[in-house]
């Protein structure tokens, strides 16, 4: 037969620009506030608000001031009451806006969840021709895990599953936002399909992997809406701290009334200001003080920060199964990265032909071309391209022969021609094949192979029965910019480890070029799992990516396991994140998002506590200065009166929540640096800012409220 280059489908991945349909992180449209207002008012229900202890206390305080003001109405009392209720509403508004952004994402996803008809196959067996498949039509909602369905071109895939037969082009733009179709085929690590995506060509048979209500889209909708979001351990710990601070300030506020009564009794000449009644400081003033002093700012924004963190993941096409996973990403100490597709492009290209044993380059190129005509891999096509540039476009077309496909056992491929046999593959396998045919290996072959491996390339040896002709040098190019990214990781205290199946020499060369801290060569699934467990023994958190069934144990063991959407269902179920773009380098962005979440929460907590301290020293000197003249020296702002000081603080306490909503949604700007540097920056910017801003803002508000009659 004539030796012709077989036509192979071009599965080379073409990089497409990210879709522009996502909502920009942190952008706050005023219309969002208005749309979220009804939900904020519904959250005033105490049965909902009690989950946020700080704001629940604030709501109780607002209710008490309402009760106290009704029998003794005054402008001051009604103003305080109104602003306390607004404080609670603004806190609910922050959470409602964050949830509404997720709800908008969910509405888009619901459009993909159409009512489809599934063609379920009864008694399907592997090897049955697709033309012989007989199926019954049932509603997709009735499908169960393990059911097998057949999907033709133009039809929607009725549920999540794995392709068990066939190959097809699939439009996944409804899920990933990318317009370019992708290839899904049975076997390998690109067999997973998602319900709601559309088959564009051919026919595939899919085994359903999820029961109703547990599909990928269902889980994604529940998570982005925040309906299933549970508080993370860090949030629970911070909530406990906020409750403790609330109790402390409650005790401090309660002591003020006995102090006022004592002061009035002992210092009879003291001015009768401060809204003092016969029983002491009025309940309205006491409640106002309590609300101003407890950490209402972070209490109001804490939930919104967590929801916004998961929302930022969704905006980057990453589905986090829980807030715990996002937080763990921010605390990662070790990052495990596959070499192929993550650190390198993954498509090794033929770079040069290196003859040995006196062989001419043209002869080696011709033999490489013949032995690669049946090779459908990108590497095989690159060898054909390089060889034809050396010996001519039509070389080999006149030859007859029998193809020898590549096998993982023999680790070589080639062709048997009437006049000779050619093989191409691993050096050890080809050398053994030559010896078996009575030939010998040139002494310089080992050095040539070693030199190609040491440069980070992959050597393939070409031989003709009794003699070795030379080496094909394949190069896997390291992605640009990774060395700088890994340097940033190092500054953050994160250790990067490259995992590869290559030999140690090749692995070391790629690791040095990419700038990773360590590497694991000739890695098996067991080796990956053992490495993760070893890293975790010292209390370190580990993140890794994977897409195959053999990666599932390691993904389940890792603290942050990022499964590729193109991977198997087993991998996606084992991980706690799914990357819809199937971009292995996304794990670096995921770590940065996690760190931004933790930094934002820490920064706003620092700002809130500093706020409380500032408000304490702004209000109390103004209130007690007339009784204790020494305290007047601390009234550095020169507030108009005790009542204006209280009202100004209450107004600021409410307004600052709305002012910080965009920051909570967008997140504090992240700069790769050490934990000590981040802490120092937080203390200077948000600690000092939390002290200075209230002083300035309360003074400005006081200049306005002093014109209110009776204040």
Higher pLDDT, 465 or 33: 465
Tokens (6 digits) for 592: 């940065």
Please compute the mean of the pLDDT values over residues 632-646 and round it to a whole number.
Answer: 76
CB-based contacts of 276: which residues, under 8 Å, 6+ apart?
Answer: 260, 264, 282
What would the pLDDT profile of 468-515 be if each residue is shown by its tens digit?
999 999 887 788 888 888 888 888 788 999 988 777 887 888 888 889
Neighbours of 269 (CB within 10 A): 5
Higher pLDDT, 650 or 98: 650
Is 165 assigned to a binding site? no
What would the pLDDT profile of 160-169 be if each residue is shown by its tens digit?
888 888 888 8
Tokens (6 digits) for 168: 């097809």
Lowest pLDDT segment from 48-57, 211-220, 224-233, 244-253: 224-233
Is 411 assigned to a binding site? yes
Lowest pLDDT segment from 166-175, 268-277, 335-344: 268-277
What pLDDT score does 270 carry? 43
The torsion defined by the Cα of 344, 350, 355 and 360, in degrees rounded to 10, comes to: -170
Please compute the mean of the pLDDT values over residues 142-164 and round it to a whole number.
Answer: 87
What pLDDT score does 675 carry? 67
Lowest pLDDT segment from 237-251, 329-343, 395-409: 395-409
Is 408 assigned to a binding site? yes
- CA dist., res. 288 & res. 534, Å (int): 54
Residue 286 to residues 53, 106, 299, 612: CA-CA distances in angstroms? 19, 44, 20, 15
Tokens (6 digits) for 442: 């040139």
For the ranges 459-463, 500-504, 608-612, 682-686, the one whose mean pLDDT is highest: 459-463
- CA dist., res. 285 & res. 273, Å (int): 12
Tokens (6 digits) for 366: 């011709």
What would the pLDDT profile of 518-542 be if each residue is shown by its tens digit?
998 888 888 888 899 998 887 889 9
- CA dist., res. 705 & res. 707, Å (int): 5
Domains of the chain: 33-96+227-313+593-705 (no CATH), 333-344+478-585 (3.40.50.1000), 349-475 (3.40.1110.10)
Tokens (6 digits) for 424: 């191409």
What pLDDT score does 469 carry? 93
- CA dist., res. 657 & res. 88, Å (int): 10
CB-based contacts of 40: which residues, under 8 Å, 6+ apart?
Answer: 89, 90, 92, 93, 95, 96
- CA dist., res. 294 & res. 288, Å (int): 10
Strand order in the sheet with 167-171: 182-185, 167-171, 198-199
Is 636 assigned to a binding site? no
Quote the Cα angle for 95-686-640, to 5°.
90
| CB-based contact 507:519 (threshold 8 Å) | yes
User: pLDDT class for 341, splitting at 50, 70, 90?
Assistant: low
What pLDDT score does 364 carry? 92
Lowest pLDDT segment from 591-595, 605-609, 611-615: 611-615
- 0.75 exceeded by the pTM? no
Is 296 assigned to a binding site? no
What pLDDT score does 220 carry? 64
- Say which of 165, 338, 476, 612 is annotated catalytic: 338
- CB-facing half-sphere around the CA of 446: CA atoms within 13 A: 3
| CB-based contact 529:553 (threshold 8 Å) | yes
Is 467 assigned to a binding site? no
- CA dist., res. 161 & res. 148, Å (int): 9
Please compute the mean of the pLDDT values over residues 279-289 and round it to a whole number.
Answer: 71
**Is residue 15 helix, strand or coil?**
coil
What would the pLDDT profile of 226-268 be if each residue is shown by its tens digit?
544 566 777 788 888 888 888 888 887 777 666 655 555 554 4
Residue 581: which of 570, 566, 592, 569 has the closest Cα?
566
Beta-strand relationship, 161-165 and 192-193:
antiparallel
* % residues pLDDT > 70 (the chain): 80
What pLDDT score does 411 carry? 81
What pLDDT score does 398 carry? 47
- CA dist., res. 221 & res. 80, Å (int): 40
Is 412 assigned to a binding site? yes
What pLDDT score does 15 carry? 36
- CA dist., res. 423 & res. 406, Å (int): 10
Tokens (6 digits) for 237: 């710990």
Is 334 assigned to a binding site? no
Active site residue 338: yes
- Of how many residues is the chain composed? 711
How confident is the prediction for the chain on average, in pLDDT? Answer: 79
- CA dist., res. 100 & res. 537, Å (int): 41
Residue 299: which of 123, 6, 57 has the closest Cα?
57
What pLDDT score does 18 carry? 38
| CB-based contact 574:563 (threshold 8 Å) | yes
Over 90: is that where the pLDDT of 89 sits? yes
Q: Which residues of 502-535 are buried (b: 16+ CB within 10 A; e: fewer)?
A: beebbbbbbbebbbbeebbbebeeeebbebbeeb
| CB-based contact 84:286 (threshold 8 Å) | no
- CA dist., res. 329 & res. 348, Å (int): 31
CB-based contacts of 205: which residues, under 8 Å, 6+ apart?
Answer: 121, 124, 130, 133, 148, 149, 150, 151, 163, 164, 165, 166, 186
Is 350 assigned to a binding site? no
- CA dist., res. 241 & res. 263, Å (int): 33
What would the pLDDT profile of 103-141 be if each residue is shown by its tens digit?
666 666 665 555 678 888 877 766 565 556 777 888 887
**Is residue 253 helix, strand or coil?**
helix
Supply the DSSP string of 532-579, one letter for each residue: HHHHHTTT--EEEEE-SGGGHHHHHHSSEEEEETTS-HHHHHHSSEEE
Residue in this structure with the two tokens 């907590």, named with its chain if needed:
605
Strand order in the sheet with 518-520: 318-320, 577-579, 560-564, 542-546, 334-338, 495-499, 518-520
What pLDDT score does 16 carry? 36
User: pLDDT class for 19, splitting at 50, 70, 90?
Assistant: very low
Lowest pLDDT segment from 211-215, 220-224, 235-239, 314-318: 220-224
User: pLDDT class for 650, splitting at 50, 70, 90?
Assistant: very high
What would the pLDDT profile of 557-597 be if each residue is shown by its tens digit?
999 989 887 777 778 888 888 888 777 778 888 888 888 89
Phi-psi map region of 228: left, alpha, beta (phi>0 left; psi -120 to 50 alpha): alpha
| CB-based contact 138:148 (threshold 8 Å) | no
Over 80: is that where the pLDDT of 95 sits? yes
Q: Alpha helix (H) ranges present in 19-52?
A: 30-42, 46-49
What pLDDT score does 271 carry? 45
Please compute the mean of the pLDDT values over residues 643-654 and round it to a whole number.
Answer: 90
Phi-psi map region of 333: left, alpha, beta (phi>0 left; psi -120 to 50 alpha): alpha
User: pLDDT class for 269, splitting at 50, 70, 90?
Assistant: very low
Tally DSSP H helices, then E strands, for the chain: 24, 24
Is 379 assigned to a binding site? yes
Residue in this structure with the two tokens 């030859």, named with its chain if needed:
399
Considering only CA atoms, give the Rg of the chain: 34
Could you give phi then psi for residue 118, rounded to 5 degrees? -100, 145
Is 375 assigned to a binding site? yes
The DSSP element (H or E) to which 336 belongs, if any, is: strand 334-338
Over 60: is that where the pLDDT of 516 sits? yes
């Amino acid at each position: 037969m004539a030796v012709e280059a077989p036509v192979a489908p071009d599965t080379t991945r073409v990089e497409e620009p990210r879709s522009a349909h996502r909502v920009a992180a942190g952008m706050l449209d005023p219309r969002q506030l208005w749309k979220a207002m009804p939900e904020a008012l519904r959250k005033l229900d105490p049965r909902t608000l009690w989950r946020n202890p700080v704001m629940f206390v604030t709501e109780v305080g607002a209710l008490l001031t309402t009760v106290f003001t009704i029998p003794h109405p005054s402008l001051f009392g009604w103003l305080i009451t109104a602003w306390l209720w607004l404080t609670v509403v603004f806190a609910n508004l922050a959470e409602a806006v964050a949830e509404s952004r997720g709800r908008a994402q969910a509405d888009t996803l619901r459009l993909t969840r159409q009512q489809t008809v599934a063609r379920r196959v009864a008694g399907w067996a592997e090897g049955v021709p697709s033309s012989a498949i007989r199926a019954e039509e049932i509603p997709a909602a009735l499908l169960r895990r393990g059911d097998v369905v057949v999907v033709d071109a133009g039809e929607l895939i009725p549920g999540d599953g794995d392709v068990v037969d066939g190959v097809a082009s699939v439009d996944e733009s409804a899920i990933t936002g990318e317009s370019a179709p992708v290839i899904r085929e049975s076997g390998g690590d690109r067999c997973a399909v998602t319900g709601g995506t559309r088959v564009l060509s051919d026919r595939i048979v899919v085994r359903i992997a999820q029961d109703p209500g547990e599909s990928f889209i269902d889980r994604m909708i529940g998570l982005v809406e925040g309906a299933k979001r549970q508080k993370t351990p860090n949030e629970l710990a911070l909530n406990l701290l906020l409750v403790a601070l609330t109790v402390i300030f409650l005790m401090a506020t309660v002591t003020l009334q006995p102090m006022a009564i004592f002061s009035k009794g002992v210092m009879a000449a003291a001015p009768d200001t401060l809204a003092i009644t016969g029983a002491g400081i009025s309940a309205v003033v006491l409640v106002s003080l309590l609300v101003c002093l407890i950490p209402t700012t972070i209490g109001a924004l804490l939930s919104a920060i967590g929801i916004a963190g998961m929302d930022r993941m969704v905006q980057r096409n990453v589905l986090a199964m829980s807030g715990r996973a996002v937080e763990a990403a921010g605390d990662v100490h070790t990052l495990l990265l596959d070499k192929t597709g993550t650190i390198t492009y993954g498509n090794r290209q033929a770079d040069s032909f290196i003859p040995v044993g006196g062989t001419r380059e043209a002869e080696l190129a011709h033999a490489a071309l013949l032995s690669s005509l049946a090779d459908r891999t990108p590497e095989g096509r690159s060898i054909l391209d390089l060889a034809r540039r050396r010996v001519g476009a039509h070389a080999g077309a006149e030859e007859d022969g029998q193809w020898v496909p590549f096998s993982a056992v023999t680790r070589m491929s080639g062709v048997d021609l009437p006049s000779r046999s050619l093989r191409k593959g691993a050096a050890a396998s080809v050398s053994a094949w030559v010896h078996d045919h009575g030939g010998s290996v040139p002494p310089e072959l080992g050095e040539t192979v070693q030199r190609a491996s040491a440069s980070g390339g992959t050597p393939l040896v070409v031989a003709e029965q009794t003699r070795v002709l030379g080496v094909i040098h394949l190069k896997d190019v390291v992605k640009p910019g990774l060395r700088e990214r890994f340097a940033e990781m190092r500054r953050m205290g994160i250790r990067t480890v490259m995992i590869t199946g290559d030999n140690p020499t090749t692995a070391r060369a790629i690791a040095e070029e990419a700038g990773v801290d360590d590497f694991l060569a000739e890695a098996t699934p067991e080796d990956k799992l053992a490495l993760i467990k070893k890293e975790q023994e010292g209390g370190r958190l580990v993140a890794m990516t994977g897409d195959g069934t053999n990666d599932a144990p390691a993904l389940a063991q890792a603290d942050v396991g990022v499964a590729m959407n193109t991977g198997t269902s087993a991998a996606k179920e084992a991980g706690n994140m799914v990357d819809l773009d199937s971009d292995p380098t996304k794990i670096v962005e995921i770590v940065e998002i996690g760190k931004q979440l933790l930094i934002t929460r820490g920064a706003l907590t620092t700002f809130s506590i500093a706020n409380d301290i500032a408000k304490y020293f702004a209000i109390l000197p103004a209130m007690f200065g007339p009784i204790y003249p020494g305290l007047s020296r601390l009234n550095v702002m020169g507030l108009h009166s005790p009542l204006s000081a209280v009202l100004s603080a209450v107004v600021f306490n409410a307004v600052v929540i709305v002012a910080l909503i965009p920051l909570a949604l967008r997140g504090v700007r992240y700069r790769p640096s050490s934990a000590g540097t981040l802490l120092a920056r937080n203390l200077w910017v948000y600690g000092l800012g939390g002290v200075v801003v209230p002083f300035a803002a309360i003074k400005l508000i006081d200049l306005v409220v002093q014109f209110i009659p009776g204040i």
